[in-house]
């Protein structure tokens, strides 16, 4: 009897996993499409309805992109370098700054805390593209045009990151923090030794969407950078793609560039999502 019950459960589980996998396969269609699209020859690029799998894979799209890039006024490597610098700086500083802010917001009581919290919540509705002009005025007012800080600082104001971290840090048991305080740890020590390591799942999640946002962002390059050598890869790719919706020429360049922009997102996602699963908040407390 026990055996039959076990079998029924496993059959149900099996069906569930099967259905779930089918759904997952359907959801991942865009990835499959982007991966295949970049290798399609021109005649396959224009098929409608689009075909997901490439029939005659070719590298010519990447050759075209490479040719296009070598003819640009600013070398392609400069855009890549800018993007890497900006993304690294932003990622590190967003993590540190947001975690610091979230730590005190989650664990201490002080004046103005409620007002700051509700402002953060409200600002989640904020859409940067609607306030381009005021932001430009501020950036040029503090002379951040054509500097890396002009890319980084606007991204530092990340209410989503702080809001998410406040939730996670409030779950860290107070006993842990008190124990550390008794052992003589300073505020900075508690932050660096306990809060940061224990909020790794949240930090990993934040890294994923911050990376995605900064890597694909063209706003700072368009509005705050007038010097072409300070603009990022996303801007370059976007300038290739703009006005391409209905044109035939350079569609193949666009396809290759799309893959180029997508691959780092994918890598970062796989890298950081694994970190989410490795941490256990409650492992330190009995």
Partner 1 sequence: MNTELSPGLTKIVPQSSIRLKWNRFWREIRRDSFCYLFLAPFLICFTAFIVIPVIMAATLGFTSYDGFGSLRFIGFDNYIMLFTQDVVFLTKALPNTFMFALIVGPGGYALAFLFAWLIHQLPIRIRDYYTLAFYAPSMAGGVALSVVWIAAFSGDRVGYLNNFLLTMGWIDNPIIWLQNPKYLLNIMIIVSLWISFSVGFLAMLAGLQTVNRELYEAGRIDGISNRLQEVFYITVPSMKPQMLFSAVMTIVTTLKAGAISTQLTGLPITPQYSGHLIINHIDDYAFIRFELGYASSVSVMLLIVSYFAMRFAYRLFGSKEEA
The residue within the footprint of partner 1, chosen from 202, 214, 223, 225 (CB under 8 A), is: 202
Stretch that binds partner 1, among 55-63, 64-72, 163-171, 174-182 (CB under 8 A): 163-171
The residue within the footprint of partner 1, chosen from 66, 76, 81, 209 (CB under 8 A), is: 209
Q: Which of 56, 130 has the CB closer to partner 1? A: 130
Distance of alpha carbon 229 from alpha carbon 264, whole angstroms: 22
**Residue 276 CB partners (closer than 8 Å, separation 6+):** 200, 201, 204, 205
| Phi, psi of 225, rounded to the nearest 5 degrees | -110, 120
The residue within the footprint of partner 1, chosen from 38, 45, 89, 153 (CB under 8 A), is: 153
The residue within the footprint of partner 1, chosen from 10, 53, 126, 263 (CB under 8 A), is: 126
Distance of CA 106 to the CA centre of its chain: 24
Q: CB of 36: closest distance to partner 1 in angstroms?
A: 11
Residues present in the chain in total = 286
SS3 content of the chain, % helix, strand, coil (to 5): 75, 0, 25
Both structure tokens of 170: 């409030």
Q: CB of 100: closest distance to partner 1 in angstroms?
A: 4
Q: Which of 4, 246 has the CB closer to partner 1? A: 246
Contact between residue 201 and residue 280 where contact means Cβ atoms under 8 Å apart: no
Q: In the range 172-191, which residues lie near partner 1 by CB under 8 A?
A: 187, 191
Distance of alpha carbon 265 from alpha carbon 30, whole angstroms: 14
Q: By CB under 8 A, tell whether 262 contacts partner 1.
A: yes
- Return the closest-CA partner of residue 259 out of 85, 61, 127: 61
Distance of alpha carbon 100 from alpha carbon 108, whole angstroms: 12
Q: By CB under 8 A, tell whether 233 contacts partner 1.
A: no
Stretch that binds partner 1, among 4-12, 82-90, 130-138, 228-236 (CB under 8 A): 130-138
Q: By CB under 8 A, tell whether 226 contacts partner 1.
A: no
Q: Which of 74, 100 has the CB closer to partner 1? A: 100
Q: By CB under 8 A, tell whether 225 contacts partner 1.
A: no
Three-class secondary structure of residue 58 per DSSP: coil
Q: CB of 189: closest distance to partner 1 in angstroms?
A: 12
Stretch that binds partner 1, among 3-11, 31-39, 65-73, 75-83 (CB under 8 A): 31-39
Binding mask 66-105 for partner 1 (x = CB under 8 A): -------------------------------xx-xx-xxx
The residue within the footprint of partner 1, chosen from 11, 12, 14, 20 (CB under 8 A), is: 20
- Return the closest-CA partner of residue 93 out of 172, 151, 163: 151
Q: By CB under 8 A, tell whether 197 contacts partner 1.
A: no
For 90, 113, 137, 198, 234, the CA distances from 131, given in Å and listed in that order, are: 21, 26, 10, 36, 21
């Amino acid at each position: 009897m026990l055996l039959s019950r076990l079998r029924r459960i496993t059959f149900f589980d099996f069906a569930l996993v099967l259905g779930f996998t089918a759904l997952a396969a359907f959801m991942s269609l865009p990835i499959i499409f982007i991966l295949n699209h970049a290798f399609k020859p021109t005649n396959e690029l224009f098929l409608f309805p689009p075909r997901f799998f490439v029939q005659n894979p070719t590298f010519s799209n990447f050759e075209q992109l490479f040719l296009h890039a070598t003819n640009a006024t600013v070398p392609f490597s400069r855009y890549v370098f800018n993007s890497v610098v900006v993304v690294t700086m932003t990622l590190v500083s967003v993590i540190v700054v947001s975690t610091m802010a979230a730590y005190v917001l989650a664990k201490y009581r002080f004046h103005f805390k409620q007002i700051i919290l509700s402002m953060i919540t409200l600002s989640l509705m904020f859409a940067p593209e609607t306030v381009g002009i005021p932001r430009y005025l501020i950036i040029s007012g503090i002379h951040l045009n054509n500097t890396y800080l002009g890319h980084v600082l606007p991204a530092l104001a990340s209410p989503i990151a702080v809001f998410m971290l406040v939730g996670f840090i409030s779950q860290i048991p107070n006993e842990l923090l008190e124990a550390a305080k008794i052992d003589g740890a300073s505020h900075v020590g508690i932050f660096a030794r306990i809060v940061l390591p224990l909020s790794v799942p949240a930090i990993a999640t934040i890294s994923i969407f911050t990376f995605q946002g900064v890597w694909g962002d063209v706003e700072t390059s368009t509005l705050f950078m007038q010097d072409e050598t300070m603009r990022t890869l996303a801007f370059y790719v976007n300038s290739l793609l703009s006005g391409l919706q209905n044109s035939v020429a350079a569609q193949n360049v666009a396809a290759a560039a799309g893959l180029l922009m997508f691959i780092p997102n994918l890598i970062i996602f796989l890298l950081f999502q694994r970190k989410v699963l490795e941490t256990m908040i409650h492992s330190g407390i009995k």
